[in-house]
């Protein structure tokens, strides 16, 4: 009688990490809402093409002076802050569905105004419409969260939003590469493409908001006073920390990147201008790739350490700013490397941090409070950028750009402390 081993070695191959990741991607792409949300986020995050050629188009095509462009930027930012509360009241009344649909239409109208503007006032109106559309489109995040919660898949929010951010970076990179050839053919072609993509974005805004019922839930509140009381409840100690941290972090990784570019030019002032422009162009292109990688890394990191990712990215931001500042104190042969790595680190951490803070802020299932949190976060982001820009402008009138970089580094250290406090508070309340 032949001997038969008691245990036989399995002939089936265990799936490795690559196979698991591929299957996970395929599974997500089978979800129609997932595909629609990717396109919506990519097309409605900003005015594609215009975000690349805004300075060039407004100054060379529309004949706007640099002073007028600076005034346009300031007035648009100030208007965005003023309009936050009225827009919140509007969103409370109409719900997330109407908000994102209206936002996508207003976004397209802003592109039309800017493209065919006969003068400064029309461009300014287009800038105001862009601010309104951007605020209303922020409700798309709430639609994603509520959709996943309804399907008992709320743990996938960070994964879905990170993929959407990566898709946005990819589309922005492609449009930045196409912008110059289109502008060379005809100076209006990039803006025509912007209008077309904005119109496509309207379609996806209607698709993702088809099943949203936030307006009905909010209107079921016994009375308006109770609804207002629920909204005021967002001002607790945890949320105040969230708003402060979000304002500082977004200012450093948004407006702060402009001063990091200025730091490049100031430190390398004795270098060939063409070399500096080539270096900045390459880095700007690499930034989009870095953002894609950072969003993919966010999915992995969140699965392991959850909300503590906020502490890690704030440390990376501080490290990036230190690298931007260090060459001023000690010259080495690796100066360019320090400046480049510091700049890329600042770009690397932006999307993961924003995704995580929005995830924490949407933990409450109450639709009215979700809307209040998103609008307040948006207002905090605008306020942080405005304050940093104003303070940096005053400092540059008396000192060089190094003083601004030192200030930004100190603010990054404050962000680390705030993130630690946020995680502790969140763990206590959850």
* DSSP letters for 390-421: HHHHHHHTTS-HHHHHHHHHHHHHHHHHHHHH
How far apart CA 352 and CA 290 sit, in angstroms, is 12
Contacts of residue 250, Cβ cutoff 8 Å, sequence gap at least 6: 350, 354, 380, 381, 384, 385
Please tell me the predicted confidence (pLDDT) of residue 235: 64
3-state class percentages of the chain: helix first, strand second, coil last, to nearest 5: 85, 0, 15
On the question of pLDDT at 88 being above 50, the answer is yes
CB 133 within 8 A of CB 104: yes
Contacts of residue 331, Cβ cutoff 8 Å, sequence gap at least 6: none
Please tell me the predicted confidence (pLDDT) of residue 370: 83
CB 21 within 8 A of CB 300: no
Q: Give the pLDDT mean for 325-339.
A: 70
Other beta carbons within 10 angstroms of residue 293's beta carbon come to 13
The average confidence (pLDDT) of the chain is 81
How far apart CA 50 and CA 68 sit, in angstroms, is 17
pLDDT in tens, 359-390: 888 887 777 888 888 888 988 988 998 888 88
From residue 201, alpha-carbon distances to 26, 43, 134, 321 in Å are 24, 5, 13, 36
Residue from 130, 114, 134, 129 nearest 56 by CA: 114
- pTM for the model stands at 0.80
Residue from 16, 327, 42 nearest 167 by CA: 42
Pick 276 or 68 by higher pLDDT: 68
How far apart CA 297 and CA 308 sit, in angstroms, is 14
Tokens 């932006």: give the residue: 350
Question: CA-based diameter of the chain, in Å?
Answer: 97
* DSSP letters for 68-110: HHHHHHHHHHHHHHHTHHHHHHHHHHHHHHHHHHHHHHHHHHH
On the question of pLDDT at 224 being above 50, the answer is no
Please tell me the predicted confidence (pLDDT) of residue 283: 72
Please tell me the predicted confidence (pLDDT) of residue 272: 66
Q: Which residues of 108-139 are buried (b: 16+ CB within 10 A; e: fewer)?
A: bbbbbbbbebeebeebbebbbbbbbbbbbbbb
On the question of pLDDT at 76 being above 80, the answer is yes
Please tell me the predicted confidence (pLDDT) of residue 428: 78
On the question of pLDDT at 175 being above 90, the answer is no
Element (H, E) at 56: helix 50-56
Tokens 């990376």: give the residue: 316
Q: Enumerate long-range contacts of 422-428, CB under 8 Å, 24 or more apart.
A: 422/238, 422/241, 422/242, 422/245, 422/310, 422/360, 423/307, 423/308, 423/310, 423/311, 425/237, 425/238, 425/241, 426/238, 426/307, 426/360
pLDDT in tens, 242-261: 999 999 999 998 878 777 77
Q: Give the pLDDT mean for 77-90.
A: 89
């Amino acid at each position: 009688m032949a001997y038969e081993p008691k245990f036989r070695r399995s002939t089936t191959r265990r799936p490795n990490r690559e196979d698991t990741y591929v299957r996970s991607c395929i599974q997500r792409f089978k979800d129609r809402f997932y595909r629609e949300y990717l396109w919506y986020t990519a097309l409605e995050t900003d005015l594609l093409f215009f975000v690349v050629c805004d300075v060039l188009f407004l100054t060379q095509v529309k004949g706007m002076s640099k002073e007028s462009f600076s005034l346009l930027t300031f007035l648009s930012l100030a208007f965005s802050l003023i309009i936050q509360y009225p827009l919140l009241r509007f969103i409370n009344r109409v719900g997330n569905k109407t908000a994102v649909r209206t936002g996508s239409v207003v976004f397209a109208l802003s592109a039309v105004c800017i493209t065919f503007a006969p003068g400064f006032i029309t461009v300014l109106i287009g800038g105001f419409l862009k601010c309104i559309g951007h605020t209303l489109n922020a409700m798309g995040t709430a639609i994603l969260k509520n959709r996943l919660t309804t399907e008992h898949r709320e743990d996938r929010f960070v994964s879905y939003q990170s993929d959407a951010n990566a898709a946005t970076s990819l589309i922005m990179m492609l449009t930045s590469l196409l912008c110059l050839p289109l502008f060379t053919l005809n100076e209006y072609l990039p803006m025509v493409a912007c209008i077309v993509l904005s119109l496509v974005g309207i379609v996806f805004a209607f698709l993702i908001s088809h099943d949203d019922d936030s307006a009905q839930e909010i209107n079921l509140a016994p009375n308006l006073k109770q609804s207002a009381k629920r909204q005021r409840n967002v001002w607790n100690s945890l949320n105040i920390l969230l708003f402060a941290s979000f304002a500082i972090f977004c200012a450093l990784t948004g407006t702060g990147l402009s001063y990091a570019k200025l730091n490049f030019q100031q430190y390398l002032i004795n270098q060939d201008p063409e070399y500096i422009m080539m270096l900045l162009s390459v880095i700007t292109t690499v930034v989009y790739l870095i953002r894609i990688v950072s969003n993919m890394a966010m999915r992995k990191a969140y699965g392991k350490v959850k909300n503590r990712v906020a502490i890690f990215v704030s440390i990376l931001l501080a490290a990036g700013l230190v690298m931007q500042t260090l060459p001023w104190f000690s010259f080495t042969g690796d100066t360019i490397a320090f400046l480049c790595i510091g700049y890329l680190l600042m770009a690397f951490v932006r999307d993961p941090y924003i995704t995580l803070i929005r995830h924490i802020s949407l933990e409450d299932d109450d639709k009215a409070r979700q809307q209040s949190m998103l609008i307040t976060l948006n207002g905090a982001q605008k306020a942080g950028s405005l304050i940093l820009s104003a303070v940096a402008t005053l400092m540059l009138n008396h000192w060089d750009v190094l003083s601004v970089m030192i200030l930004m580094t100190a603010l990054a250290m404050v962000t680390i402390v705030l993130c630690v406090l946020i995680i502790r508070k969140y763990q206590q309340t959850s």
